[in-house]
Structure 1
């Protein structure tokens, strides 16, 4: 297999990193994009790349999906913002459509609370759980606790980083918000043991995305659901990255037949057009939030609802979910072959979402990895830079791991092309 890089090795510093006026809170790959359509994007020099990051699942439907851009353009010409001081004609239709899509997958009659970003949705779920715990369950005000898992990623607000176990996300941002208990991810017994009379909720990612697409055992999520039900504790599933088709199902929790009490959605809900998020779940829980207790100026705005409605429509017949399942199986076989050959250390995958671990170079002269140690990628960042030179966009996480999340609309031929380039980069 011979593949020619799309350009010479890129410079080591991106335009945003070299800027004196833009805060350097990201370490982007050295590419500046100007255009995108479907699974492809173009940089300032006219080079084209296959986008296998999809904005961390915000671009599940690819760049500039015609149904989404048409909905946005039509709404921009009518009404973009009212604030929740007034109703608008798409607010209830959006809530009804989203409840129709996700409601059957959660416990109890559904209610929808629209917000903007994923972190806002998580904060909303935390507030609702605490208020429900106080007013309904009877936990004294100020004593509610929520159980979370180590390795979690739920956002970067001061409350959320208070229960992060990532030193980079947490260090230096104290004092930290109390009320959270951290247990090992995947250990249902430890989680159940952490529940006491103050526990109001368990907040968990069905699949840990930021950690490297880490999947739990088959028994884990059902055991967590059972522990929550037995103790009258809310199960909150963060599906901001995993939801809305990414795993081949509308929600990742469906993979284990689990119905959460609340689910947080974001990223793909805005179709890659603008930030849209929501909490969907039991009406008796979200119903504790009354006028003045929670809000957002832009939450549920007309433009967001127009795009959100179009997103729900794309997912309503299940064809994209089915495509993600079929393409994922095809892709998974190819990725597994790279593991069998020793080019990858391991692969974790659900639908069109994969975490790839780069092999560590061995000091054993007889090791099959030794021959590659001077030419193969040394870590996730190195692999992403090699892929960039070959016209593929991906992003590393936690050192030796990269995450891949192709658009659900990618063709099999483009997916194969990207995988060919991945194999070339690994060799």
Structure 2
């Protein structure tokens, strides 16, 4: 399939679940309803996610279907993961072919897909000579690797005798970098951190977007500064103009690393390969995941330049599954499709269309974001109720805050599909307000 119009045809295939061979592996009595599955869920899975909103059984393009046959337009994309939607024919064929050829080899060996993907990411990120890639299975693992990278930049500044050790790492209020312990230390939300304290030491959170606060914080005791170009979990908050440039200048002067978390914003989500690329800076490292594998789990730490890339040496970090042949093949297929099916153009056009339309909706007070990472605020604390109303109306959206809605749909979302949601939104918001 060569263009977005062809991809959109996938959305209209009949949702016949029985055709999948996976169904034969799942114990069912007849056709279990969503309620039946949720009862089984509650008795067999940990409750860390609460009660799932629906039991989804199939997807195609930007649509998914639940166990009761109801259709939904997916405007969350598995939280910015399903870059090419569901069941993309090229990606699924590449995954199947690679798995049938070579699935896993451990990190004692490499594979052509691993090497080719590393080369591709270095090229797309315009990384200078000496740059390297470390593959992981998720965004939080990529940030764990970056955390260890920062720890390795902990010696005396510039090798000066008597210099202070670099024991501090700077992150921002509102930051979300993951839930494993190193990534959680970088994450600002107290509710996530408190049950697991004490956190790994040295991390300080400074006010979001405040260049003066950054200037006051960064000195020669700082090992690294971690930034998201757009904070997704905080409600889609872009860093203000000039902030990344200031961060690069200050960290360079102090000898600290500038590490950009593009787990949610990278791989075309903002209409560019990296959300930070227009800032005109070269960071020391970037973390990637989510959309990289088109739905298949994979993440990456990209280090820029020989000096940074040499901080982690043999035996200092590792992963069993990271960079396996199937995951790297999935990522190569995803990047190929994004490059060759005019996906970035679509992200920019449809994203601009949605943001302009949202600004005119009664009850919407602010619209933020770039490309197809969009947040909009409401005039009342009804965002969770709006998510529930939207689901009943056949749309999957997300509320990162009581007044904020987040959209992160597949990058192949069409304008017509977006208009379906925009037309339904006023009624969704009214239903949410009536439910309060």
- 2:354 is equivalent to residue 354 of structure 1: no
- Quote how far apart the aligned CAs of 1:228 are: 1.5
> 1:279 corresponds to which residue?
301
Contact 2:54/2:66 (CA < 8 Å) preserved in 1?
A: yes
- Quote how far apart the aligned CAs of 1:178 are: 0.4
CA distance in 2 between counterparts of 1:209 and 1:13 reads: 33
- Quote how far apart the aligned CAs of 1:16 are: 6.8
- Quote how far apart the aligned CAs of 1:249 are: 1.0
- Quote how far apart the aligned CAs of 1:278 are: 0.5
- 2:258 is equivalent to residue 235 of structure 1: yes
Q: Is the partner of 2:303 in helix, strand or coil?
A: strand
- Quote how far apart the aligned CAs of 1:61 are: 1.2
- Quote how far apart the aligned CAs of 1:180 are: 1.1
CA gap of 1:88–1:136, structure 2 versus 1, over 3 A, is farther
CA distance in 2 between counterparts of 1:73 and 1:141 reads: 53
CA distance in 2 between counterparts of 1:354 and 1:87 reads: 38
- Quote how far apart the aligned CAs of 1:11 are: 9.9
CA distance in 1 between counterparts of 2:69 and 2:52 reads: 17
CA distance in 1 between counterparts of 2:69 and 2:165 reads: 56
> 1:151 corresponds to which residue?
174
Which of 138, 147, 167 is equivalent to 1:117?
A: 138
Contact 2:157/2:166 (CA < 8 Å) preserved in 1?
A: no
Aligned length: 395
Contact 2:153/2:166 (CA < 8 Å) preserved in 1?
A: no
Structure 2, unaligned stretches of length 5 or more?
A: 1-32, 431-436
Q: How does 1:60-79 map to 2 (within 5 A)?
A: 60-79=83-102
Which of 77, 97, 108 is equivalent to 1:54?
A: 77
> 1:368 corresponds to which residue?
none
- Quote how far apart the aligned CAs of 1:142 are: 7.3
Residue range with higher mean Cα deviation, 320-329 or 124-133: 124-133
TM-score by length of 1: 0.87
> 2:382 corresponds to which residue?
379
CA distance in 2 between counterparts of 1:327 and 1:270 reads: 22
Q: How does 1:246-395 map to 2 (within 5 A)?
A: 246-272=269-295, 274-282=296-304, 283-316=306-339, 319-338=342-361, 341=362, 343-360=363-380, 378-395=381-398
> 1:224 corresponds to which residue?
247
Of structures 1 and 2, the one scoring higher in RCO (CA 8 A, sep 6+) is 1
Contact 1:253/1:259 (CA < 8 Å) preserved in 2?
A: no
CA gap of 1:163–1:84, structure 2 versus 1, over 3 A, is closer
Q: Is the partner of 1:77 in helix, strand or coil?
A: helix
- Quote how far apart the aligned CAs of 1:28 are: 5.0
> 1:3 corresponds to which residue?
none
- Quote how far apart the aligned CAs of 1:109 are: 4.2
TM-score by length of 2: 0.85
CA distance in 2 between counterparts of 1:313 and 1:288 reads: 31
Q: Is the partner of 1:294 in helix, strand or coil?
A: coil
- 2:153 is equivalent to residue 132 of structure 1: yes
CA distance in 1 between counterparts of 2:337 and 2:387 reads: 31
> 2:404 corresponds to which residue?
401
CA RMSD between the two structures: 2.4
CA gap of 1:11–1:308, structure 2 versus 1, over 3 A, is closer
CA distance in 2 between counterparts of 1:128 and 1:170 reads: 22
CA gap of 1:290–1:263, structure 2 versus 1, over 3 A, is same
Residue range with higher mean Cα deviation, 139-148 or 57-66: 139-148
Task: From the two aligned structures, give the one with the greater helix fraction.
Answer: 2
CA gap of 1:13–1:200, structure 2 versus 1, over 3 A, is farther
Residue range with higher mean Cα deviation, 308-317 or 408-417: 308-317
CA gap of 1:151–1:394, structure 2 versus 1, over 3 A, is same
